Amino acid sequence: MADDSSGDSVLATRAMDRVLQAEREELAAIAECERQSAAALEQARAQRRALLERTQKRIVRLRARVAQALERRSAEILEKHRRASTAEVEQFADPARRDAALNRLAARLTTAEDTRFADEPAAKP
């Protein structure tokens, strides 16, 4: 019976060793999974940062292009306004032209042949 007892003890020890070895292997596998998960998470974070940086650079470039286009368009509008104002000022600044326009207006207002009112009956004196 001593042999059975020592044989059972050896079998039990071997079984315990196999269980403990399996547990160590499982713990190592869990640790490897955690390491791979951490690496995948860090890679995802790095990709997110890279995407954010690219997006921010694109936004900066887009804003710069919009600002340049806005600046050009504003300059065009201001120049057009300046030219129109200059033409208006020049038109009224020319004394001969101004006097001619006033004379034409005075003549139209003081003659009976004003064509604008031709369809209206003439006023009686």
Average pLDDT over residues 100-104: 88
DSSP calls for 60-97 = HHHHHHHHHHHHHHHHHHHHHHHHHHHHHHHHHH-HHH
Give the containing element (helix H, strand E) for 37: helix 2-93
Phi, psi of 120 (to 5 degrees): -90, 145
Tell me: the pLDDT tens digits for 65-96?
A: 999 999 999 999 999 988 888 877 777 778 88
Residue 23 pLDDT: 97
Give the containing element (helix H, strand E) for 34: helix 2-93
Give dist(CA 101, CA 98) in Å, integer.
5
Tell me: the pLDDT tens digits for 13-50?
A: 999 999 999 999 999 999 999 999 999 999 999 999 99
Residue 55 pLDDT: 98
